[in-house]
Amino acid sequence: LSSIGEDVDREGLEKTPARVAELWSYLTSGYAEDPQLVLRSALFKSEARDPIFVHDITYYSVCEHHLLPFFGSCQIAYIPDQVIVGLSKIVRLVDIFSRRLQVQERMTGQIADTLQEILKPRGVLVLCEGSHLCMMMRGVERAQTSVTTLASRGAVESDEGLRNELRSVLLHRTPVTKALR
């Protein structure tokens, strides 16, 4: 702060170093959690064979290139094969990977890989959409630009028809909150 000419002793900045340290501890808290253990803590045998969709999982992350936030939502589909997972654990999985220094592309793949490895479903599709402050505030300065990343595993990766069907549901759905109005 002093290198940019700020008076670090003024009232508004006195506690800033401690606040920033606490903030970065929270923003990178995903390193302290094991995503595999989180999923394994809520696995259940199931005869379910149809796709399970989890929509609108909000995330906040930090771009590893510029240390600026990016944020958005993830949509996740998986086709179980004898095992399902508690739905809240899918949300926690997104939190764990987003609360690290990240790039959206890797985060999307890490979520898909972990679901595939632990649940061993017939297939997984993860779609993440994000707005990146590194593009909005600097560089190209495009406030309306968003980024969409996809990761497919298992049968969803190898079967184009299945992948397209799941992607269509993830992209073109009526949110429950709108349907209830």
Instruction: Give dist(CA 61, CA 66) in Å, integer.
Output: 12
Instruction: Give dist(CA 7, CA 9) in Å, integer.
Output: 5
Type of residue at 93: L
User: For residue 119, is it left (φ>0), alpha (ψ between -120 and 50) or beta?
Assistant: alpha
Q: Which of 121, 130, 131, 128 has its CA nearest to residue 155?
A: 121
Is 104 part of the annotated catalytic residue set? yes
Is 63 part of the annotated catalytic residue set? yes
Is 55 part of the annotated catalytic residue set? no
Q: Are strands 83-85 and 43-45 parallel, antiparallel or unpaired?
A: antiparallel
Which of the residues 65, 105, 117, 160 is marked catalytic? Answer: 65
Which of the residues 74, 75, 102, 104 is marked catalytic? Answer: 104
Number of Cβ within a 10 Å radius of residue 159: 15
Which residues are bridge partners to 61 per DSSP?
70
Is 66 part of the annotated catalytic residue set? yes
Type of residue at 83: V
Which of the residues 64, 105, 117, 160 is marked catalytic? Answer: 64
Is 132 part of the annotated catalytic residue set? yes
Residues annotated as part of the active site = 63-66, 104, 132, 134
